[in-house]
Amino acid sequence: MAARTDYSLDHLRGISKRYLVVVAALVVGALLTLEAIIHQVQQGLATTDLAQQGTQAGATWGLYIGTFEWFAGMAVGTLAITGYIRFNELDAYEMVARIANIWAFICGISAAWLIVIDLGTPHRVLIVLSRWHETVMHSPLAWDVTFVTTLLVFTVTMVVLSLRLDFLQMDDDLPVHTYAVKRVVSLGATDAEIPKLESMRKWLGLGLIVLAFTAGMIPGLLMGVVGGQPGYFGSERGMVFLAGGLVTGAALVTLTAGLLRLRYSWRDKLSNSVMRGLGQALTLFGFVWLVVLFNDVVTVVTDMAPFFEQRIGDAMIAGELAPFFWLSVLLVAAPTIVLAAAKYRLGVRLQSLAAASVLLGVWVKSNLTVVEPLLFPNLPGFTGSYSPTLVEWVITLGAIVIAALLFVLAIKIVPLARVYKTEVSAE
Amino acid sequence: MSLPPIGMVVLLVILLMPVYVTLAAWLFAEPRDFRTAGIGIVYMAAIAVAMIASTAALGVGFWLIGSLPF
């Protein structure tokens, strides 16, 4: 392990053998994914196990949409974390804000990507764009497209604005690829604009928070408005989604900060106090997620629930879906309780492990949330089944691999914090 | 009296609220500096155009993959 050290731009320079191995492995995963996508685009959704409900006994949405919900949630969570840090000008957390900001963009892209994949013949995206002005008047799916686009625009704007400010306060000694980024974000930049840029970064932070807590609920509530669909319809869908987003966003940032600290030992920007702060956020949102989940489930497991809802509740709590449901609860509850009991002093390794467990737990639940109701349609005689095909698994896990690849590449290009200009002192 | 389409309300009141908040604060919060605020708005608009254009390009790319002869 590296010796304790302060943050420097060394991570942007040179390429270690370990870094190359990681990138190569991720690129192989991305190429496999591309192969699976070409296969699906040419053969259509027949290569998946997605089918109509009822007589076809299938689920119309599966891993793609479940993982979309997970990515969209993480995008909202990391968006809220970035906004919170920037709006409150928590300088001790500036590296966390940059990490969360990069992830918000990557998760937004990954979410949008999985929607495009789920279209089956993905060039339908052109139809979605050309009909937007009509569909946005009534379709929650069109609102979702609008939300994800807004999220991408806001996250990139925050990256650009915060980098512009950082570069104004940093030495010019940058590697050539980072210097190119500086040129792009610094058009017309002068030292005189620093106070205004600080103000604009703060207020854009508020914009991110507003975006996260208003439009951010749409990927959840778009299911909650489907009156004919037992298990989806209900007024709490948006809040359930938001709770999942906040805990996964906190977990993703905690895991990333943990891995970076283990790799680089930056004790100034990722100090013990910052790591504990992240652990505290993860614990808080872990409990929030569990409380919201309880409220979400309790109505469908009582004897008074409508028949179609009750079938879903029974399958989830004690039936065929129970192993997945209880696994997801365990994967979130156990680390949350351990973190709370240890008062967020588990150490970087264990805390990172806890974050990974939470990410996995909510991923399982996101997929269940999408699939459960589709297996029990409004037809008493029918129950469906869904077993994702190899193509679905490769494309879904591939989306996660591609997201990781994008982040690993991003931290070779973008500084994660400021390194202040060398002071000219009176020595 | 008929209500406006729900989507119009969602779009104008909820989806665009962060845009209103950000733009109003950039223009009118202290310190006032319309040059820097203007540059920020131009960047944001350029990023929005780039996002929508790249989504359209992705659609065209998939259309080409779908019509490959093999």
User: How high does pLDDT run on average in chain A?
Assistant: 90
Cβ neighbours of A139 in B, within 8 Å: 7
Inside any domain, residue A401: no
Inside any domain, residue A14: no
**Percent share of chain A, pLDDT over 70:** 97
Confidence of residue A4 (pLDDT cuts 50, 70, 90): low
CB contact under 8 A, A124 and B59: yes
Inside any domain, residue A233: yes
Same domain, A287 and A263: yes
Cβ neighbours of B55 in A, within 8 Å: 112, 125, 129, 149
Confidence of residue A427 (pLDDT cuts 50, 70, 90): very low
Same domain, A173 and A253: no
Same domain, A332 and A203: no
- Best of B16, B19, B36, B47 to substitute, by most chain A Cβ atoms within 10 angstroms, is B36
Same domain, A248 and A341: yes
The whole-angstrom distance between A309's CA and the closest CA on chain B is: 27
Task: Find the CB nearest B6 among A123, A138, A195.
Answer: A138
- Best of A87, A130, A157, A198 to substitute, by most chain B Cβ atoms within 10 angstroms, is A157
Same domain, A354 and A379: yes
Inside any domain, residue A3: no
Same domain, A302 and A195: no
pLDDT digits (tens, 9 = 90+) for B3-60: 788 888 888 988 999 999 999 999 999 899 999 999 999 999 999 999 999 888 888 8
Average pLDDT over residues A302-315: 84
Confidence of residue A422 (pLDDT cuts 50, 70, 90): low
CB contact under 8 A, B7 and A137: yes
- Of the three residues A174, A201, A225, the one that is the final residue of a domain is A225
ipTM: 0.92
- Of the three residues A225, A258, A291, the one that is the final residue of a domain is A225
CB contact under 8 A, B30 and A199: yes
Residues A105 and B42: beta-carbon distance below 8 Å: no
Average pLDDT over residues A237-244: 93
Same domain, A215 and A257: no
CB contact under 8 A, A143 and B11: yes
- Of the three residues A181, A197, A225, the one that is the final residue of a domain is A225
Inside any domain, residue A400: no
Same domain, A214 and A107: yes
Inside any domain, residue A22: no
Inside any domain, residue A337: yes
Inside any domain, residue A412: no
What length does chain B have?
Answer: 70
Which residue range forms the structural domain that includes residue A375?
226-384
Chains A & B: contacts with CB separation below 8 Å? 132
Same domain, A281 and A370: yes
- Best of B41, B44, B49 to substitute, by most chain A Cβ atoms within 10 angstroms, is B44
Q: Rounded to an integer, what distance in angstroms lies between the CA atom of residue B63 and that of residue A290? A: 43
Q: Rounded to an integer, what distance in angstroms lies between the CA atom of residue A308 and that of residue A379? A: 8
Same domain, A214 and A324: no
Task: Find the CB nearest B36 among A136, A200, A206.
Answer: A200
Same domain, A187 and A236: no
Count of the separate structural domains present in chain A: 2
Contacts of A418 (CB under 8 A, 6+ apart): A94, A166, A169, A170
Same domain, A172 and A280: no
Average pLDDT over residues A351-363: 97
